[in-house]
Amino acid sequence: MVGDPVEAEGCRVLVRKRESGFKIAEGGPGKMGERLSGKVALVTGGASGIGRATALAFAQAGARVVVSDLNRTGGEETVRTIAGARGEAIFVKADVTQDSEVEALVDQAVAIYGRLDCAHNNAGLLGTPFVPMGDYQEETWDRVIAVNLKGVWLCMKYELRQMVRQEGGVIVNTASVAGLIGGRFGAAYYASKHGVIGLTRAAAVEYAQQGIRVNAVCPGFIPTAMTAPVLRMGAEAEAQQRARNPMGRLGTPEEVAEAVVWLCSDAASFVTGHGLVMDGGLVAQ
């Protein structure tokens, strides 16, 4: 069932081949397994949290998935989960802050699957979450902006080139409610996510005539490795996060993934330059 690992310039690629369709999709609701049938989808930050959920959802919707992350162990685990459900996926290690690694990532996706239809630029980090702006460290600033903002631009740079060659494609960037409103103790995170919204809109306008749609998702608080330090502060901290939105609960990675799949599908064919908010009503207040 499992293909051979492929060594390629700077990237070890684990190939897993689909045998006969995707089991999870069978008997699922609606047209699951068909929405992205025949498509090739890339997700960065696919080793964990929202990115892993999107990778699984892409596969469940019928896409062949390129899972990328800095974290090889987690990324390969995502691939194993997809393969275990008879989906098709490969892992390509790449640091989204490095131009040459991102170029190689997109090259690998195209070399193996022939094209790139959908991309979820999702890799990101929080930085130091409890530090006021006046005490924020320059190195934290530089790292957060490099991963969350420059990384999204670098991914789009090479994805757009490929999508122009193919005359079409869809990109979804992970922004955040932190890209829409301000907040305490995360200067670079808020700035980076506002930047992702700007990049998304700029790309949507630039490439609309070339058959390429570019959108963003703006999740509220989702329990993942990134937000674990907040939840580790205890029940009161979690209750505070719940109380911030009218629905009074936290979101799930799967809820974000579902939105990404929808934005990538033909059901969203007239949607571009949009930041889709999923936050239990937080920013509606």
* Smallest distance from ligand NAD to CB 44, Å: 6
Interface positions with ligand NAD (CB under 6 A): 44-45, 47-51, 69-71, 74, 95-97, 122-125, 147, 151, 174, 176, 219, 221-222, 224-227
Residue with smaller CB distance to ligand NAD, 86 or 194: 194
Give, in degrees to the nearest 5, the angle at Cα 182 between 181 and 187. Answer: 135
Q: In this structure, what token pair is assigned to residue 143?
A: 């790292």
> What SS3 class is residue 64?
strand
Q: Which is nearer to ligand NAD, 97 or 162 (CB)?
A: 97
Answer whether 95's CB lies under 8 Å from 70's CB: yes
Q: How far is the CB of 173 from ligand NAD (least distance, A)?
A: 9
Q: Choose among 89, 90, 85: nearest CA to 27.
A: 85
CB of 9 to ligand NAD, least distance (A): 18
Minimum distance of ligand NAD from residue 48's CB (angstroms): 3
3-state SS, one letter per residue, for 3-62: EEEEEECCEEEEEECCCCCCHHHCCCCCCCCCCCCCCEEEEECCCCHHHHHHHHHHHHCC
Q: Which is nearer to ligand NAD, 126 or 170 (CB)?
A: 126
Whose Cβ is closer to ligand NAD: residue 61's or residue 197's? 197
- CB of residue 251 to ligand NAD, shortest distance in Å: 7
The 10 Å Cβ neighbour count of residue 235 is: 8
Catalytic residue flag (residue 189): yes
Of residues 48 and 265, the one with the C-beta less far from ligand NAD: 48
Question: Which 8-state DSSP code applies to residue 180?
Answer: T
Residue in 113, 189, 190, 207 annotated catalytic:
189
- 245-to-114, 176, 177, 281, 283 alpha-carbon distances in Å: 43, 14, 11, 6, 8
> Residues with catalytic annotation?
189
